[in-house]
Each structure stands twice: as C-alpha cells, then as structure tokens.
Amino acid sequence: MTEDVRSAAAPTLEDVARAAGVSRATVSRVVNGVRNVDPAIQEAVRQAVAATGYTPNRAARSLVTRRADAIALVVSGAAADDAMEEAGPSPSGRENGAGEGQGRDDGGGVDDEDGETDGGSVSFTARVSADPFFGRVVTGVVNHLRPRGMYPMLMFAGTARARDEVVSYIRQGNTDGALVVSAHAEDPLPSLLTEAGLSAVLYGRPTRPVRISYVDLAQRDGARLAAERLLERGCRRIVTITGPLEAPVGQDRLTGFRETLARRGRPDAPAVEGRFSQESGEVAMARLLAEHPDLDGVFAANDLMAVGACHVLREHGRRVPEDVAVIGFDDNGVAAACRPPLTTVRQPVEEMAGAMVDLLLERLARPSLPVTSVIYEPTLVVRDSA
Amino acid sequence: MTEDVRSAAAPTLEDVARAAGVSRATVSRVVNGVRNVDPAIQEAVRQAVAATGYTPNRAARSLVTRRADAIALVVSGAAADDAMEEAGPSPSGRENGAGEGQGRDDGGGVDDEDGETDGGSVSFTARVSADPFFGRVVTGVVNHLRPRGMYPMLMFAGTARARDEVVSYIRQGNTDGALVVSAHAEDPLPSLLTEAGLSAVLYGRPTRPVRISYVDLAQRDGARLAAERLLERGCRRIVTITGPLEAPVGQDRLTGFRETLARRGRPDAPAVEGRFSQESGEVAMARLLAEHPDLDGVFAANDLMAVGACHVLREHGRRVPEDVAVIGFDDNGVAAACRPPLTTVRQPVEEMAGAMVDLLLERLARPSLPVTSVIYEPTLVVRDSA
DNA sequence: TTGAAAGCGCTAACAT
DNA sequence: ATGTTAGCGCTTTCAA
C-alpha cells in the first residue's frame, strides 16, 4: 500500500503544500480536520499527504498548541512519609521491607539512584510486580490507547521524591494529563494533581473526596456476591481477611460483606486485616484458624491473599473446599492457577482501565466537562474453592 | 527553598536572560552545560533560573535538536503471523488462546480496537500480565530512568499491526530509541528496528544474530547451577521442563542443563517442552510423571512452570522435596510464595533492565559507539524445594 | 474558502 | 566568551 519514496529528511507541511499546490495553512486544516475546506482540495491534499508519506512533527505541533499529546500512567503508592522521613508509623500495618537505605543520596544528584536501593521504593516496587492487578491496569491502558496512536509514559511514584518529580514533570506540560492507580490509601498524589489544575483520572475512589474523576467497581456488591455464595454453600462459621482498612477498597469490601451476613442474621463475622499480599493473607489465615478453629468459609479481599489462605489451610490439614470454602476477589491469573482453582469476584480491570483512558481523553478534549465517575459491576466467577 | 512567584505562563529563556542581564544564548549554554561560559555569569544565570523557576520547554528544544528526549519500552511478542495471517502453525507448541477474533477490524479505523478482542493479542496480553518477569523488567527500567528525569513510553507489540505502528511511531522520531523485551522467539521487531537505523537494546540475545545491543544472563551457567544442585542432593532420575525451544533462552537452559548432566555421566535427561506458563508446566509435569514414574528431580526453565510442576507432583502424591526435588529459574515473587518455597536460579532482572537503559542512553549520546552486549551471572537461591 | 505572515521557545551557526 | 540571528515545523490570527 505504501510504495512511495521516503528520502532522508521527513516531509514537512511545506512539502505537502507544494505537492498539492496549496498553502501550508490549507494542508494543516485538512490534516487537523478543520471545516471550511473545499472537498476537491481536501482530496488533493490527502493524496499529497499519502504521496509524500507525511506525518506531523509532534514537537512543532506541541510548541504552538501547548499540548504534549501524551499522557502519564502513574502507579502511585507511598503515603506522605518515606525516603527522608521514614520515622512515623502509618495508621495500620506497615509493609515489611520498607525503610532500608533511606536518606541516601539526598544531594539531588541526578545520578545512580536506583529503585532497588531507593528508600521506601523496595517494597512498593516489589508489591507492584507481585500483584498482577497492576499489570492488568497497565495492559488495559496501553491496549486501549494504542488504537488512538498514543502510548502512556509510565511513572512510579513510590517515594515523596519520586512523586514530586512526577508532579512537576506533568506540570511542566510534558504530558496533558495523568491516569493514576494507587497502591496505597492516603496517597497525596490525586490532591496534588488537582490542586495544580491538572487533568487526572483515578482507578478507585479517592480516600478523601477530592474533585477528580475516577473509575471504580461496586465493591460492596462484589463482597455481597462472595457472602451470598458462602451462605448458599451452607457455611456456618464465616470469616474474612480484609484489605488495608485505611483504603476505600478495604473498607468497602469489608462492610459489603458484613452487611450481607448481618442481613442474614450473622453479624460480627470475624475479620483480620491483611495488606493484599499473599504473605499477609497467610498470616491472617493462620490467626483466624487459631482463633476460630471451627471456621468453614473464608472471604479474602483479593486473590493473592486467598491463595495465601489456601496454603495455610492445607498446611493445617483443612481441605478446600470440602472443609473450608474460600473466595477471593479480582479474578487475576493467580485465581485460576491456584490449587484448587479459586472461586472469586471478578473485577474487569482491563475494561475499567480503558474507561479511565476515555474519561481522560474526553476531559482533555473538552476541559469544561464535569468531573465524572464510572462504576462497574462485579461478577462472581465460580471455580472449585467455593 | 522555592519561594518565588510563579505566574500563569511558564518562564522562557527570554525571561531568564532578562533577569540575569545576559542573552538567551548564554542562558541556553549554561542550562545545557556547554563550556566557555564565565563562572560569574554562570552563577548569575543559575540564580536567575532558580528565581524564575525556569524549565526548558521540551517541544521547543526537540524541534531544533531533532531529538525527542524520550525512549520507548516495548514488550514485544507475536511472530510474523498473527491478526491477519494466523494460518501457519509455528515450529513448536502454540499458545492455546491465540487466534480468536482474527481478521477483525481490518479497515484501519482508528477507533475502538481493544486489546481484549484484538486478534492474537489476547494470549500475549494475558501472558504478559501473568508472568511477573515482564513486570520486573518494566519496573527495572522505570526505576533506573527516573533519576535521569525520564519516563519510558510503554508499548505492546503483540500483533503485526501493533508492531508496525510501534515501528513507525519510533521512526517518526517520537522516541530516540527503544528498549525491547520479547515474549516470543522469531520476533521480527529487533530486525525491523535496526533496519530502520533506530537505536535499540534488547533483553536477551536475539534469535538470529542481528547487529543490536543486548543484555542477557549467562543462561547455561544458570542451568548448570540447577543441575549441580540436583546432583548434589543425590537425585538419580532427573528430568527437565524446558522453555520454548525456538527461543534462545529455551535452548540455552536446556543445553546448559544437559551438558552438566552429561559431564557427570548422565546423558539424555528426559525433557518436555513447556511455554513458560504455569499451565504448560503442569501439562509437562504430568507427562513426565507418566513416562518416568521414578523421577526424583525436576528442573523447570522458569518459576511459573516450576510452580505448575509442584502442583501436579503433589496431586500425584509426591512430596516436594522429599520425593522429588524441584528447581525453577528466575526467582520471581512466585518462587518465594510457592509451597514449598522454590529453590531457583536467580536472574537479576531489575539490574539487567537498568543495564539496558545505560546501554541505550550511551548509544544515544554517542551513536558511533559499537554494538555491545552485557552478560550477567546467575546465582542459585536455595529454598525448600531442592 | 484560502493564503500570508507571525511566532511558539529553543539551539546553533556566525559575528564579535 | 558573549551576543545576534536565523530558523526548526507547525497552528492561527488576519486579510483577501
């Protein structure tokens, strides 16, 4: 289809204009789809574009439009404290690996500060690669952006330093907006972004009500689905491993779960807080087992913790699902890979990530648009564990 | 520290020049660290920069330097065939999910082509989020780039179409170079990139010898480590689950393993080919168990397959490591999370990804630099499975 | 509806 | 060692 000659220097508007016998301005109008161009000329220009193999120079365009034509995808995480001020413990459980090497390289040197040794970043980075959830968000965004000819600039904001750099990078106009997925509650990034007047869309309801668009799942409905399934199976002694309770997801999944149980006359399901990691799920399960040896149903607030729970249950001689039914949340790859395959609440992460893209792009196209939120419905995926 | 007034419009070189009482050119020189600037003036300019809160406008800079000051991180995958020409089977086992929905949306429309339904992209995307390996490469790159004030543009090239778009995007100068990690052998991307005269660095030796820089692990040494460990434990009947044999990693890990065994008088260790997915590891293990019921040692070419093997072994009543010792490869998070925790060959993925960044950046700084490769040494991480 | 011209902010000759 | 100047390729008034 493209059999043209493509010489060394990339063709410019000028070249196309000459080939079409019109002015640069007209070519620009055609290329940008601006009205008021004679159809005949329009066609001629299109031909010239094809013949020359013209593609707009983004730098030149950005220079005048003041748009970067790029967006940021930031995986955010650490709370206000980190690298430099690791001291104060956060409200709830802390990530174990955090805190080595802090305070290193404060000089602001631009050299050799690697994530592997960067204070506070270790556990953040580890969690991000360990939980398939983040990978799903990223692939969802990338795949949805691709047909639009765009690729996201990927950023991690795992430390206060990294976060500030990200914010100023975006403020400087290097991207037109940001998609952010937080690995932590109390993430100051959303506020920083909106305060700076930048367009952003979140994955998940922000902890504090900040005026920002977001895409979320009807978390409580998901938890309800899990509770009902456990109830239907005839579980009598149901417990739950929650997510971090300072985060909205953690709270919502717990309350949705408890509400359903309470409505069926089973208030006060025992709960132990986890941190969404497999290990925290194991610890929580062990504790629940010790305190409630007669338990026969477990709802873990994500798949990773459910997998950890299964491991511990088996080590304690309990069969899943015969002795204890287990339900996870997310429906990540680990759920299907688990033994037994996990019954879980599915969150259409990739789709939701795509919705984030749409929301942001619409907002950028029409900044006057109001802040919006889109809520997806979860579904129960029944496999073997419950 | 910054207590200046920051008005609406971003300060330009002009503003700084005025503030410092010099010309734009001088400011530019200072900002870009060009020699031949009087130290006193240099200092004055620096002050002015700080006072005004100046940051270079990248679009303007790119326009004249013809550098994008950005790099691509592409996770590549599918071979020449896909979306449009799914017909011919590849040399060895095919990814199972591949091939639904092919031929859809050929019209070249720029709308609504999502990865989830895009032919050939399904299994690719799934594999990418399922294998923590890719996440590690990505985090390694992002973390290493951050101190340099750069963020990679993330791209997936899972179909021929996507690959072409990626190549032309880069050719158009939207990024200065590319970091590529292939999920498939026979990936045409490296060749396409070099043929187009673009700078690129690969993760892993390319299938065919193409003149391109890469970072790799001494795969055979890693396999040797695994073989020796199994031998030391006194395993008598050792088998292996290989990676895809059309890929260099698959080959190298197998030959390194067999060579070591042969040198100890144990040629012909039974091998079954896997595809690096947990499921393929399960299938392979089941087959090996059927054909060699007396096996007592397994080397899986990656952790995911090792986990699958452990599942199957347990289901067949074999205890790990008492009855059968299992060793994986990579040392991803799943290795430590496995029950029992997996003894495995560690690949310092994040570090290696950092090395890719260095290689590419050096190359961009001095294009005359020769093509290089950096090889890392693997280490054996002993846990419980062997 | 189309063209002419100005200028976005920066770097890189070239002059001084 | 510093300043002057000429664009880089594009969009966007403003005229015609």
* Sign of the alpha-carbon torsion through A164, A168, A170, A174: negative
Nucleotide nearest to B28 (CA to C1'): C11
- Which band of pLDDT confidence, cut at 50, 70 and 90, is reported for residue A183? confident
CATH of domain A13-56: 1.10.260.40
Q: Which CATH superfamily is domain A124-216+349-377 in?
A: Response regulator (3.40.50.2300)
pLDDT tens digits, one per residue of A122-131 = 578 888 888 9
Residue A79 clears pLDDT 80, i.e. is over it: no
Mean pLDDT across chain B: 87
Residue B148 clears pLDDT 70, i.e. is over it: yes
Q: Looking up tokens 């970043």, which residue turns up?
A: A121
Q: Is this prediction's pTM over 0.85?
A: yes
Helix (H, G, I), strand (E, B) or coil at A179: strand
DSSP A304-319: HHHHHHHHHHHHTT--
Instruction: Find the mean pLDDT for residues A141-160.
Output: 95
Q: Which of A58, A111, A135 sits opposite B128 (nearest CB)?
A: A135
Residue A308 clears pLDDT 90, i.e. is over it: yes
Q: Is the pLDDT higher at B98 or at A5? A: A5
Most confident of A256-260, B7-11, B83-87: A256-260
Q: Looking up tokens 């506020």, which residue turns up?
A: A191
Residue A101 clears pLDDT 90, i.e. is over it: no
Cis peptide before B340 (omega within 30 of 0): yes
Residue B185 clears pLDDT 90, i.e. is over it: no
Instruction: Find the mean pLDDT for residues B277-302.
Output: 97
**Distance separating alpha carbons of residues B140 and B132, to the nearest angstrom:** 12
Q: Which residues of B touch A70 (CB under 8 A)?
A: 153
b/e map B308-338, b = 16+ CB within 10 Å: bbbbbbbeeebebbeebbbbbbbbbbbbbbb
End-to-end CA distance of chain A: 55
Domains A13-56 and A219-346 share a fold: no
Instruction: Find the mean pLDDT for residues B244-248.
Output: 94
Kindly state the tokens that stand for B263. Answer: 């040198």
Boundaries of every domain in chain B: 13-56, 124-216+349-377, 219-346
Q: Which of B121, B144, B307 sits opposite A114 (nearest CB)?
A: B144
- Nucleotides of chain D in contact with protein CB (under 7 A) are 1-5, 7-13
**Closest-CA residue to A140 (of A183, A184, A185, A181):** A181
Q: Which residues of A touch B169 (CB under 8 A)?
A: 149, 151
Which of 1.10.3720.10, 3.40.50.620, 3.40.50.2300, 3.30.70.1400 would CATH assign to domain B219-346? Answer: 3.40.50.2300
Q: Which residues of A touch B59 (CB under 8 A)?
A: 58-60, 62-63, 68
pLDDT of residue B267: 86
CB contact, 8 Å: B68 with chain A? yes
**DSSP H or E stretch at residue B180:** strand B177-182
**Distance separating alpha carbons of residues A88 and A91, to the nearest angstrom:** 9
CB contact under 8 A, B151 and A121: no
pLDDT of residue B8: 62
- Which band of pLDDT confidence, cut at 50, 70 and 90, is reported for residue B208? confident
Q: Is the pLDDT higher at B308 or at B95? A: B308
CB contact, 8 Å: A52 with chain B? no
Instruction: Find the mean pLDDT for residues B113-119.
Output: 40
**Dihedral through CA B166, CA B171, CA B176, CA B177, nearest 10?**
50
Whether the CB-CB separation of B345 and B328 falls below 8 Å is answered with yes
Contacts of A11 (CB under 8 A, 6+ apart): A52, A53, A54
- Which band of pLDDT confidence, cut at 50, 70 and 90, is reported for residue B168? very high
Residue A92 clears pLDDT 70, i.e. is over it: no
Beta pairing, strands A379-381 & A343-346:
antiparallel
pLDDT tens digits, one per residue of B70-90 = 999 999 986 554 433 333 333
CB contact, 8 Å: A314 with chain B? yes
**Nearest chain B alpha carbon to A129:** B135
Mean pLDDT across chain A: 87
If you ran DSSP here, which 8-state letter would residue A377 be given? P
Residue lying closest to nucleotide C2, CA to C1': A26
**Closest-CA residue to A181 (of A161, A165, A201, A195):** A201
Residue A241 clears pLDDT 90, i.e. is over it: yes
Q: Is the pLDDT higher at A78 or at B98? A: A78
Whether the CB-CB separation of A152 and B154 falls below 8 Å is answered with yes
Interface test with B, best of A64, A146, A277 (most B CBs within 10 A): A146
Interface test with B, best of A139, A161, A165, A342 (most B CBs within 10 A): A139
Instruction: Find the mean pLDDT for residues B98-106.
Output: 31
Residue A351 clears pLDDT 50, i.e. is over it: yes
pLDDT of residue A78: 67
Say how many C-beta atoms besides its own lie within 10 A of residue B216's C-beta. 20
CB contact under 8 A, B339 and A315: yes
DSSP A35-77: S---HHHHHHHHHHHHHHT----HHHHHHHH-----EEEEEE-
Residue A49 clears pLDDT 50, i.e. is over it: yes
Kindly state the tokens that stand for B254. Answer: 């197998």
